[in-house]
Amino acid sequence: MDDGTAVEMEVRPRTNGFLGRAIERTPMERFVGAIVTGGIVLVGALWLLEFAARGSTVWVLGAGLALLGLGAVLAGIGSELETEALVGRE
């Protein structure tokens, strides 16, 4: 039932709980996170490729995860490269 009164709520930034600071990732943290996460996925996927029978569902899943992990690593590295350095402008 709406009686026309509004309730104000204080909005607080999300915190990580451990340190109590707001969760705001810097570009460097995103860079490192992408590389580490991509590397972990890539290593796990390569293990799947090594031990699964070639062509099996698990092997295909491992191949897809390997591509995903490699893409995350390359995206993390690419996020820190300067565009001018890639195209050769000074």
Average pLDDT across each block of 10 residues of the chain; the chain has 90 residues. List them in order.
Answer: 62 57 70 91 95 94 96 89 64
Owning domain of residue 78: 27-87
Q: Residue 35 corresponds to which tokens in the numbers above?
A: 């590389």
Domains: count for the chain: 1
Contact call for residues 50 and 40 (beta carbons, < 8 A): no
- Distance between terminal CA atoms of the chain? 65
71 belongs to a structural domain: yes
Domain-located, residue 74: yes
Q: Does some domain include residue 46?
A: yes
Q: What is the pLDDT of residue 26?
A: 79
Report which of 70, 73, 84, 79 is spatially closest to residue 27, judged by C-alpha positions: 79
In a domain, 64, yes or no: yes
Question: CA–CA separation, 18 vs 49, rounded Å?
Answer: 37
Contact 66, 45 (CB under 8 A): yes
- Residue 72: per-residue pLDDT: 93
Answer whether residue 13 is part of any domain.
no
Burial of 19 (0-12, 13-18, 19+ CB in 10 A): exposed
